[in-house]
């Protein structure tokens, strides 16, 4: 059974951007792709640094960690 959680209004996040989303004591990064209206959600913190991904850059489908500039495709991890 899939449970959906309302994270934000679509207007709260621009295309090709990321915001922070907290739910049940966990922090997530919520991405909106450049191919509207696709949304993706990952763990909020970089696996290499204790830095929130929402503070980094999004270029196309690539997220860049603000702590060490590591990049990953948020659609696939």
Give residue-wise pLDDT tens across range 28-59.
Answer: 999 999 887 799 999 999 988 789 999 999 99
What does the pLDDT read at residue 39?
A: 93
Q: Which pTM value belongs to this model? A: 0.87
**Element holding 57 (H helix, E strand):** strand 57-59
> Is residue 61 scored above 90 in pLDDT?
yes
Instruction: Report in angstroms the alpha-carbon separations of 39 from 31, 33, 49, 75.
Output: 6, 6, 24, 9
Structural contact between residues 38 and 16, judged by C-beta atoms closer than 8 angstroms? no
């Amino acid at each position: 059974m899939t449970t959906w959680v309302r994270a934000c209004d679509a207007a709260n996040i621009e295309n090709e951007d990321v915001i922070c989303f907290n739910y049940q004591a966990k922090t997530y990064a919520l991405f909106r792709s450049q191919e509207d209206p696709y949304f993706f959600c990952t763990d909020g913190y970089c696996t290499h640094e204790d830095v929130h991904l929402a503070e980094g850059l999004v270029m196309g489908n690539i997220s860049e960690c603000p702590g060490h500039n590591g990049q990953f495709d948020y659609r696939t991890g």
